[in-house]
Amino acid sequence: MVWLLSIAAFLMMGAQLAASDLEAAREAMSAREWRRAAALLTDHLEQDADDLEAFYLRGICYGEIGKNPNFRNRLERTLEKGAADFEAVLARDSLYRDAVFQYALLRRYQDDFQEAIRLAEAQIRLQPDLPHAHIGLLNFYWRYVVTTPPAEARLWLRTRPGLYAALFVGKTFEQQSLFRPAQQLYLNLEEEGQEGVPVLVALARLHFAWQEPISGTRYMKRAIDAISTELDALLLMDEIRTIVTPGEQAAFERLTTAEESRQFFSEFWEKRDPMSAAPYNARLVEHYRRLRIAETHYVFNGFRNWFRSRYTHEERYFPPTYALGHDFDDRGIMFIRHGEPDDFTVSDSPTWLYEESAENHDSLLVFHFAPTCHNSICGVTKHFVPTPHGDSFLPPRLTGLDRLDAERKTQTYITQGLSTDRHRWPAGTKQLEVPYQLASFRGLDGRTLVEAYFDVPLEDLVTGRDTLTFESGFAVHDDQWIRHVLSRNTTRLPSVRADEPYIGLFQSDLRPQPYRVSLHVRSLDVQALRAYLVSYEPLSFTGPGLNLSDVLLADSVVLFTDGEIAEREDVHLQVNPSGHFEAGASPTVYFEVYNLALSTAGRTRYTISYSLADPRGDVISLAPSELEGTLRSPIEYVIIDVADVPSGAYTLTVTVHDQLADATVSRSRQLSIGR
Rounded Cα distance, 650 and 63, in Å:
69
Tell me the DSSP string of 63-91. Answer: HHHHT-GGGHHHHHHHHHHHHHHHHHHHH
* Range of lowest pLDDT (375-384, 540-549, 653-662): 375-384
Question: How sure is the predictor about 371, in pLDDT bands with cuts at 50, 70 and 90?
Answer: confident
- Read off the pLDDT of each residue in 510-519 and give the average, rounded to a whole number: 97
Contacts with 415 (C-beta within 8 Å, 6 or more apart), sequence order: 317, 318, 319
Residue 430's identity, in one-letter code, is K
DSSP H helix total and E strand total for the chain:
19, 22
Task: List, for residues 432-484, the tens digit of each pLDDT value.
Answer: 999 999 999 999 999 999 999 999 999 999 998 999 999 999 999 999 999 99
What local confidence, expressed as pLDDT, does residue 16 receive? 40
* Range of lowest pLDDT (149-158, 371-380, 403-412): 371-380
Rounded Cα distance, 197 and 187, in Å:
13
What's the alpha-carbon Rg for the chain, to the nearest Å?
A: 32
Rounded Cα distance, 115 and 95, in Å:
19
Angle at 421 between CA 420 and CA 424, to 5 degrees: 155
Rounded Cα distance, 675 and 673, in Å:
7
Q: In b/e form, how buried is each residue of 42-63, taking b as 16+ CB within 10 angstroms?
A: eebbeeeeebbbbbbbbbbbbb
- Which residues pair with residue 328 across a beta bridge? 299
Contacts with 247 (C-beta within 8 Å, 6 or more apart), sequence order: none
In eight-state DSSP terms, residue 357 is B
Rounded Cα distance, 472 and 486, in Å:
11
Which one, of 638, 587, 642, 639, lies nearest residue 620 by Cα?
642
Residue 271's identity, in one-letter code, is K
- Which residues pair with residue 648 across a beta bridge? 673
**Can you list the domains of the chain with their CATH numbers?**
1-147 (1.25.40.10), 298-417 (no CATH), 428-540 (2.60.40.3880), 543-675 (2.60.40.3880)
Coil, helix or strand at residue 515: strand
Virtual torsion, Cα 589, 594, 599, 600, nearest 10 deg = 140
- Read off the pLDDT of each residue in 393-402 and give the average, rounded to a whole number: 63
What local confidence, expressed as pLDDT, does residue 24 receive? 93
Which one, of 354, 357, 361, 207, lies nearest residue 284 by Cα?
207
- Read off the pLDDT of each residue in 546-563 and give the average, rounded to a whole number: 90
What local confidence, expressed as pLDDT, does residue 7 receive? 47
Rounded Cα distance, 643 and 654, in Å:
19
pLDDT greater than 90 at residue 337: yes
Quote the mean pLDDT of the chain: 90
Asked whether the beta carbons of 551 and 652 are under 8 A apart, the reply is yes
- Which residues pair with residue 514 across a beta bridge? none
Backbone angles phi, psi at 148, to 5 degrees: -130, 140
Segment of 81-95, 383-397, 639-653 carrying the highest mean pLDDT: 81-95
Rounded Cα distance, 393 and 250, in Å:
36
Backbone angles phi, psi at 46, to 5 degrees: -65, -25
